[in-house]
Amino acid sequence: MLKKILFGVIILFAIIQFIPNELPKITLENKDDLLSNNEFPIEIENQIRASCYDCHSNETIYPWYSYIAPVSFLVKRDTKVGRKELNFSDWESLDKKKKAKYLTNIIEEIEEGEMPFPPYLITHSDAKLSDEMKQALMDWADDYAESLFE
């Protein structure tokens, strides 16, 4: 009985590999990108890239397992939702009010432990934020939001 169940799971796993699932497009030339158009402290830039850019930019780096179903379905969904919520590749096309709103949301998401997305941290340990880095990112977002209206 156990062998039949295991065989069925293996067959199902093999079949779902043939379901088409195109991951969101990657573009590295983004003229409105946040980090390309602004100068921030290197530790802030590096942490934003490590903790945010896979889901919140067009510069997603897809690891090998992103192409294997059913994980590919989750990666596709999370990337599409992340880009819809905030896409740093489109940053410079936003008005000041929208940028300030996003920066306020970034602070709230970090404070609440919602971002980086906890499941993402399972396979991306470099995205995990120390308490000091959380504070540094929140201070950066707050200072940047204030500077928009100076």
Of 115 and 89, the structure prediction assigns the larger pLDDT to 89
pLDDT at residue 149, as a whole number: 87
Q: At what angle do helices 131-147 and 42-51 cross, to 10 degrees?
A: 110
pLDDT at residue 9, as a whole number: 81
Can you give 13-75 as a three-state secondary structure string? HHHHCCCCCCCCCCCCCCCCCHHHHCCCCHHHHHHHHHHCHHHHCCCCCCCHHHHCCCHHHHH
Segment 30-45, tens digit of pLDDT: 999 999 999 999 999 9
- Predicted TM-score of the model (pTM): 0.84
pLDDT at residue 22, as a whole number: 87
Q: Is the pLDDT of residue 98 over 80?
A: yes
The residue extents of the domains of the chain are 2-147
Segment 75-95, tens digit of pLDDT: 999 999 999 999 999 999 999
The rounded distance, in Å, linking the Cα atoms of 91 and 147 is: 15
Q: Is the pLDDT of residue 27 over 90?
A: no
